[in-house]
Amino acid sequence: MATNWDWQLYCTDMVTNEAAPKCFGAPGYDTYLDAMIHAWGWTMYVSIAGLAVALAVGSLIGVLRTVPNRKLAMIGEIWTELFRNIPLIVQVFLWYHVMPQLFTVLRDVPSAILVIVAIGFFTSARIAEQVKAGIQTLPKGQRYAGLAMGLTLPQTYRYVLLPMAFRIVIPPLTSESMNIVKNSAVAFAVSIPELAQYAQQASEQSNFLQIFLPVTLLYFISGFAINRAAKLIERGVRVPGILGAK
């Protein structure tokens, strides 16, 4: 492998196959390295935005599934079952091809936003399950205590239940955050120029090994960075006596 590895490949223009004066940011050139970094940026954009959507929607649905109102709880259950039982790639195609046909307002929405919504809603169903489990893990007395103090039900969730529930579910949320980076690869199916699409296109024009190894490394770095960040958050919000904290 070492004898066939050509470092000059990354400084080569993808269109003309001419050597650029520098590997990254050479005026008038779009090198393999330029395209890879650009694709990595798209991957992180789709992943982070999708995670934000998933956390917001998943937290809301998780709360709805634990409220005393049966109609609201049923809405939460339907949402969870609907989005977690349809494959992600199918949901991406539905948002990209079908939804704009049904709702004309979506026809001018950028494809990246539609993919972010698809990934966010798919992951929200999994996060909702975890938020529900975190809330139900807490002693029921905490809910009753909040209500007895004169707090409304939303205030009880906001100030009493959710702060503790999120501390409990940080480890599984870390796993979902890492998964969303990997799931972002489905965006290539609708021509979002992220890492998976870059790898597919570039490998057809050059050395397969030299394209997919760096791409694999970038996916690993992205997931590992999210894992480390979540571990720091977990240590920072840990409550003594909860989850083995000291």
For residue 27, being part of any structural domain is answered with no
For residue 28, being part of any structural domain is answered with no
pLDDT digits (tens, 9 = 90+) for 98-143: 999 999 898 889 989 999 999 999 999 999 999 999 999 888 888 8
Structure tokens belonging to residue 29: 């050139």
Q: Indicate whether 12 pLDDT > 90.
A: no
pLDDT digits (tens, 9 = 90+) for 231-240: 888 787 776 6
For residue 12, being part of any structural domain is answered with no
How buried is 228 (Cβ within 10 angstroms: 0-12 exposed, 13-18 middle, 19+ buried)? exposed
Domain count, the chain: 1
HSE, CB side, 13 Å, CA atoms: give it for residue 48: 9
Structure tokens belonging to residue 14: 């993808």
Q: Where are the alpha helices (DSSP H) in 85-191?
A: 88-93, 99-102, 111-137, 140-148, 153-156, 162-183
Query: Which bin fits 176, alpha (ψ -120 to 50), beta or left (φ > 0)?
Result: alpha
For residue 136, being part of any structural domain is answered with yes
How far is Cα 216 from Cα 222, in angstroms, rounded to an integer? 10
pLDDT digits (tens, 9 = 90+) for 209-227: 888 899 999 999 998 998 8
Regarding pTM above 0.85, the answer is yes
Q: Indicate whether 42 pLDDT > 60.
A: yes
For residue 25, being part of any structural domain is answered with no
* CATH number of the domain residue 136 falls in: 1.10.3720.10
Residue in 69, 52, 63 with CA at minimum distance from that of residue 160? 63
R_g over Cα of the chain: 22
Q: Indicate whether 197 pLDDT > 80.
A: yes
- Given this model, what pLDDT does residue 244 score? 44
Residues near 143 by beta carbon (within 8 Å), at least 6 away in sequence: 156, 160, 161
For residue 137, being part of any structural domain is answered with yes
pLDDT digits (tens, 9 = 90+) for 149-172: 999 999 999 999 998 898 888 888
For residue 216, being part of any structural domain is answered with yes
For residue 242, being part of any structural domain is answered with no
Residues near 66 by beta carbon (within 8 Å), at least 6 away in sequence: 73, 132, 135, 136
pLDDT digits (tens, 9 = 90+) for 46-71: 999 999 999 999 999 999 999 999 99
Residue in 166, 172, 112 with CA at minimum distance from that of residue 137? 166
Q: Indicate whether 14 pLDDT > 60.
A: yes
Q: For residue 246, what pLDDT band results from cuts at 50, 70 and 90?
A: very low
Average per-residue pLDDT in the chain? 87
Q: List the domain range (segments joined by +) for residue 130.
A: 35-237
Between helices 70-84 and 32-64, what is the axis angle to 10°? 150
Between helices 70-84 and 111-137, what is the axis angle to 10°? 130
pLDDT digits (tens, 9 = 90+) for 22-37: 888 878 778 888 889 9
